[in-house]
Structure 1
Amino acid sequence: MTAREVGRIGLRKLLQRIGIVAESMTPLATDPVEVTQLLDARWYDERLRALADELGRDPDSVRAEAAGYLREMAASLDERAVQAWRGFSRWLMRAYDVLVDEDQITQLRKLDRKATLAFAFSHRSYLDGMLLPEAILANRLSPALTFGGANLNFFPMGAWAKRTGAIFIRRQTKDIPVYRFVLRAYAAQLVQNHVNLTWSIEGGRTRTGKLRPPVFGILRYITDAVDEIDGPEVYLVPTSIVYDQLHEVEAMTTEAYGAVKRPEDLRFLVRLARQQGERLGRAYLDFGEPLPLRKRLQEMRADKSAPAARSNGSRWMSSTGSTAPHRLPPPRW
């Protein structure tokens, strides 16, 4: 097994695979708070047992599998790790001056005091996942956890990033029902804990500069959680990140002409860091009109045409902000 593979699955997972350590189905002292809360929650265990029955499997094996996935994806916010990461992020983004609209930030600060903010951002660069969380902290908003692809969970950066709020999730989960259940439950627990969130609504970087079709998995999980859990409002914040120029364009162009995409690893990070030594202008961070999800759900229930709206995928919910990266359709509930 390579260092890259060890970094992605973690040392604990490696020991479990070779039979030295068993997956704990009860909370560990090192678990993030959401992991502890879920493993102790009656509703979580009841739904896991129901899933085990549906799959025709032993409940304990499903519990152990779910606990492993939960620890694999769960992030934390360690103050020392976050501060060191912020310094690293600013250095890695040194090719750009980041511009943010102060009026938009003022509006978000007011909402942040009483509600959860869910930033759905357009995705053009690997830097997006650093730029937005850093801008959130620099502008005195509550810190956010960021959903990102498991391809970025490479040694040795992955373990550090997880302690700064990075949630690494798998993309191909069609044949892993337990994983999908755990991701949905984890998203619900984050909503219940009033945690700000960010993720790419496109599901990956655009290779053309044009917006890709939106992917609604995370948004659907968040909306389902809002629907089930009593609590403060959750505002969906359409977020646009645009750069004057990108160092990544050359690699994207060669890939478009058939070159094999290089894997994300330590060598990839070194190349990316070296490129940022050349100044490329500005990065523009814009926020669309925040959309109150809980209020929107209530309005749809009160609307006599709501059943038709739920079954009609062509009906769109839109943000009024001109900078919004997408028009968002209503999730399925």
Structure 2
Amino acid sequence: MDIRQQKQYENFLEPRRQEISNFLWISKHWDPKIAFKQGSRRPTPASHKEAVLQSPRIQELLNELSRQQNIPKSQLEKQIRTILDEIGYDRKMKVVRWLGLALTKICMKVLSGLYINTAKVQEIKSVMGNCPVIFVPSHRSYGDFILMAYLTFTYDVEIPAVAAGMDFHGMWGMGTVLRDTGAFFMRRSYNDDSLYWTTFKEYVFQLVTKADVPIEFFLEGTRSRSNKSLPPKFGLLSMILKALFLSQVPDILFVPISINYDRILEENLFTYELLGVPKPKETTSGFFKSLKIIKEHFGDIFIHVDEAISAKKYFEGKIQRTSHNVGPIHQQDMTEEEKNLIPQFANEIVHRQQKNNVLTVFNLIALVINNNYANERVSFTLDELTKQVMWMKQILETLGCFIHTTNLEKSIKDSFIIHSNLIRLDSKNKVCLISNEVTQEKISPLKLKGHALSDKTMTYSVPFIMLQIYVNPSLHYFVDVAILAIILNKGSSLIKDELFQTYYFLRSLFAKEFIIFTSLMGMEFETAVNNGINFGVIECTDSGCHYQLGSNNKLTEFLLNALEPFQLSYFITFSVLQGASLLTDEKTILANVQQVVENAISINKEFIHPYCLNLDTLTNCLSTLCSMNIMKKSRRDNKNMYSGNSEKLREICERFEIYIPNCHMRKTTVLNLTLQNKL
């Protein structure tokens, strides 16, 4: 049986290929299923804005500000209306239909398939109508927003109101188009503007309690440049859940959605951003330039819709909603107990997104090529690649991963076509990474996020960074086993409690890198131990009392190689921080770490993965140190500043150092000390 049928995936682009006229389809009578039935008369985008203005919370704020600032209330109301016009979504079906037609034409040209687990979509539809429905997709591309609208239109579900950043609002023409298709806009920074902040929160509250359309937002807050799950943001999620905690809705259904790309539209842009090149401003002209993608091929896209999570059931027994029965609702806020439960709920959604990832064969190819380069084996044939991909496929499927392929050899050949910008076969049928010479435009050092890397370094690093983007989605499947391999690779034998304590330390250190729910760490450890034993990476001695490295050297080597770039990045960051001044700005720290790595790469005596240059990992490291109270982050002169506890930094560096491969450890430490002396 076709594996897509086993997983009930349907290519919902295929009917568009077969029909006589896409225009007839996009012009169809559309009677969508609404999320939350509000009565006989449907609310409108305009009625939502008016309801916000007339709400008790906003009226009280206007009265208070009018007294404090001696400004007529009518003048403040005009400001509120201006804010609501900036925020509020709209819905114009003519715009939706014309965009849908254009998207259909583009998708049929650049994609092989657009797959979704249709049965689950129909199941979600069947339970809609009685409470708010929140779609929570993973965020790997700007395409996520467009695909969700296309999906809901195709399956006759009301197109959601989508939280979008102000970057899009400022795009001439495009901001209006996005608003007309359901986008509502939020500023990333409020600058203590209580009028805006209160208005926005009230607008979200109004959408949750009084709208009949679904709401869509990205829990990660921004696109993941690394193609891994990012730590969730809690702001918008808290605003949505507040309506449930205050008993203003009977329930809220959250629908986790995983969107996976065979080839990411922004792969080139993300690669340069990870290396520190500033993101270009979103502009309409830039959007039209990006349409050149229609000349390329992007393979398949998979959208996996998960079971809806009932927030009422999730929080049942954990909170006391009766605590909000005293006093007017608009003066109520969430309790500290309720606020403390929100991160757990957010992690549950991220966990669901990760669990339902769909990997393509190119993700396996990227893993294999990455591992070969880490072993300094840069020459291997297509037959060798195919055997290693088959081996990797068996391992990942054992770990619960779903890999989209019906014919492995054909999928490998297709990958060379889809990713012809990154990999190719030479005249001897050997697999090669494609490296194009990079000549950078002059960018002001003030705009760079880190060190000004040389053209030589950029030319060498870009293909490796891009390749790693396709390695990353698979890492969460075996990160826990890999950490056990790192611990036991020292050659020592540990009792289970000792192994867990070290696992807990390293797993916590990488918590921003590979998202984990802290309360599940014990269970994840047990699963990792069992998997490690089954794979032969770990073995028990003395009647199961002690654990040591197993005999599966091939898999152990692969696991160690997979996490080595992250280990080195963190270790070099620790070393740089120890030599930094008492108070250092973020850009200086990032630039110094990148310079150390660039120097290490330039020596070229042994392979150091250029992914150590990526700024996402370095900022994750800083964030982790802050959460562990080893560093403190502050804001000064529009810069992120860090101060550290030198004693704690030294301790964590010494504790972490023993798990760094010796050859790299010596090299990076010497280079780091040399750099510090120069500075």
TM-score, L = length of structure 2? 0.40
- Which protein has greater RCO, CA pairs closer than 8 Å, 6+ apart? 1
> Secondary structure, in 3 states, of the residue corresponding to 2:273?
helix
The residue identity in structure 1 corresponding to 2:190 is T
Residues 234 and 343, structure 2, Cα contact 8 Å, conserved in 1: no
Distance 1:92 1:269 in 2: 14
Counting only pairs closer than 5 Å after superposition, residues 1-333 of structure 1 correspond to structure 2 as 32-50=46-64, 58=71, 59-94=73-108, 95-96=110-111, 97-153=113-169, 154-191=171-208, 192-228=210-246, 230-301=248-319, 310=338, 312=340, 316-317=344-345, 318=348, 321=352, 322-323=355-356
Residues 221 and 233, structure 2, Cα contact 8 Å, conserved in 1: yes
Distance 1:37 1:213 in 2: 34
Point out the structure with max Rg over C-alpha: 2
Distance 1:314 1:76 in 2: 29
Shift of 1:217: 1.3
RMSD: 3.0
Distance 1:245 1:57 in 2: 57
Give a deviation string over 1:165-219, Cα, whole Å, max 9, x none. Answer: 1112111114222211111111111112232011111111111111111111111
Q: Residue 122 and residue 116 in structure 1: after superposition, are their counterparts in 2 closer, same or farther (change >3 A)? A: same
> Secondary structure, in 3 states, of the residue corresponding to 2:217?
strand
Distance 2:148 2:517 in 1: 20
Distance 2:342 2:165 in 1: 28
The residue identity in structure 2 corresponding to 1:316 is Q
Distance 1:136 1:47 in 2: 37
Identity %: 21
Q: Residue 104 and residue 156 in structure 1: after superposition, are their counterparts in 2 closer, same or farther (change >3 A)? A: same
Unaligned runs of 5+ in 2: 1-43, 322-334, 358-472, 474-514, 519-679
TM-score, L = length of structure 1? 0.79
Residues 247 and 276, structure 1, Cα contact 8 Å, conserved in 2: no
- Higher mean alpha-carbon deviation, 189-198 vs 143-152, is at 189-198
Residues 187 and 225, structure 1, Cα contact 8 Å, conserved in 2: no
Shift of 1:66: 2.2
The residue identity in structure 2 corresponding to 1:252 is F
Residues 133 and 254, structure 2, Cα contact 8 Å, conserved in 1: yes
Give a deviation string over 1:242-273, Cα, whole Å, max 9, x none. Answer: 10111311111122223232111112111222
Unaligned runs of 5+ in 1: 1-29
Residues 58 and 199, structure 2, Cα contact 8 Å, conserved in 1: no
Residues 135 and 257, structure 2, Cα contact 8 Å, conserved in 1: yes
Shift of 1:33: 2.2
Shift of 1:62: 3.7
> Secondary structure, in 3 states, of the residue corresponding to 1:299?
coil
Give a deviation string over 1:69-99, Cα, whole Å, max 9, x none. Answer: 1111101112212212222333454533221
Q: Residue 302 and residue 279 in structure 1: after superposition, are their counterparts in 2 closer, same or farther (change >3 A)? A: same
The residue identity in structure 1 corresponding to 2:303 is L
Distance 1:60 1:328 in 2: 49
Residues 53 and 77, structure 2, Cα contact 8 Å, conserved in 1: no
Q: Residue 136 and residue 188 in structure 1: after superposition, are their counterparts in 2 closer, same or farther (change >3 A)? A: same
> Secondary structure, in 3 states, of the residue corresponding to 1:76?
coil
